[in-house]
Amino acid sequence: MGLRQSLTTEQSLDTNLTAEDKALFKHAKNIQQILKGVKTVAMVGLSNKPERPSNFVASYLLSEGYNVIPVNPRADEILGQKSYPDLKSIPVPIDVVDIFRAPAACDAIVDEVIEVGAKAVWLQLGVINRNAANAALDAGLTVVMDACMKIEHGRYNGSLHLVGMNTGIISARRAKVGLG
């Protein structure tokens, strides 16, 4: 299933973000830009337990063709991918860093994201740290906060629709086939 590249929506999870925050950190264009533009996703705080949400997201992204690099000092390998203790140890360029950590840990992680030169940072659903998000924004990164990469991908590739969810997408144009 390809991303519905011409479509965006402001429909999103109900969160604690203000309308102003959402405009900055949950912008549909930024979400789509990341989902379509990136190949390598470093996941900080990825768990090796299969029932954990981070594991679900990683498993999903792998099956959708992304390169997933686990960042977890307590694991050697997760979902068949070599795990690194921190972002700096990753030997290849990183497109986006997806953070599954407590909000308080995000300031230091974002500093590291900026240092390694990733183009974007994504704070998962429920991970809200405005200070860290603003620091990334100031450094010129594309930032998404308080959103789930799996859910957002599912929203735009049509699969979230298949389980009855309100994607917020309305269009009379023919859907596209293939990744955008």
Partner 1 sequence: MSNKKDFGFETKMLHAGHIPDAVTGARAVPIYQTTSYVFDSPDKAAQLFELKQYGNIYTRINNPTTAVFEERMAALENGTGALATASGMAAQFTTLMTLLRPGDEVVASSHLYGGTYTQLEHTMKQLHVKVHFVDPTDIKNWQAAINNKTKALYGETIGNPKGSILDIEKVGALAASHSIPLIIDSTFASPYLCRPLDHGANIVVHSATKFIGGHGNSIGGVIVADGKFDFTNYPSIADPTASYHNLKFFETFGEYGFLMKARTVTLRDTGACISPFNAFLLIQGLETLSLRMDRHVKNALAVATFLKEHPQVAWVNYAGLPDNPFHDLAKKYVPKGPGAVFSFGLKKGSGDVREKGKKFIESLDLFSHLANIGDARSLVIHPASTTHQQLSNAELEKAGVGPELIRLSVGLETIEDLLWDLDKALQQSNL
Q: Which of 16, 20, 63, 140 binds partner 1 (CB under 8 A)?
A: 63
Determine which residue in the list 3, 17, 24, 28 makes contact with partner 1, applying CB under 8 A: 28
Concatenate the DSSP letters of all residues of 76-125 into one string: SEETTEE-BSSGGG--S--SEEEE-S-GGGHHHHHHHHHHHT-SEEEEPT
Is residue 67 a contact point for partner 1 (CB under 8 A)? no
Minimum CB distance to partner 1 smaller for 29 or for 74: 29
Is 91 exposed, middle or buried (CB count within 10 Å of its CB: 0-12, 13-18, 19+)?
exposed
Chosen residue from 95, 103, 159, 180 binding partner 1 by CB under 8 A: 159
Judged by CB under 8 A, the stretch of 34-42, 89-97, 136-144, 146-154 that binds partner 1 is 146-154
Task: Report the alpha-carbon distance of residue 171 to residue 144 in Å, rounded.
Answer: 25
Are 27 and 142 in contact by the 8 Å Cβ rule? The answer is no
* Binds partner 1 (CB under 8 A): choice among 20, 51, 74, 91: 51
- Say how far apart CA 128 and CA 82 lie, in whole Å: 28
Interface residues toward partner 1, by CB under 8 A: 2, 4, 6-10, 13-14, 28-29, 50-51, 53, 56, 59-60, 63, 125-126, 148, 151, 154, 158-177
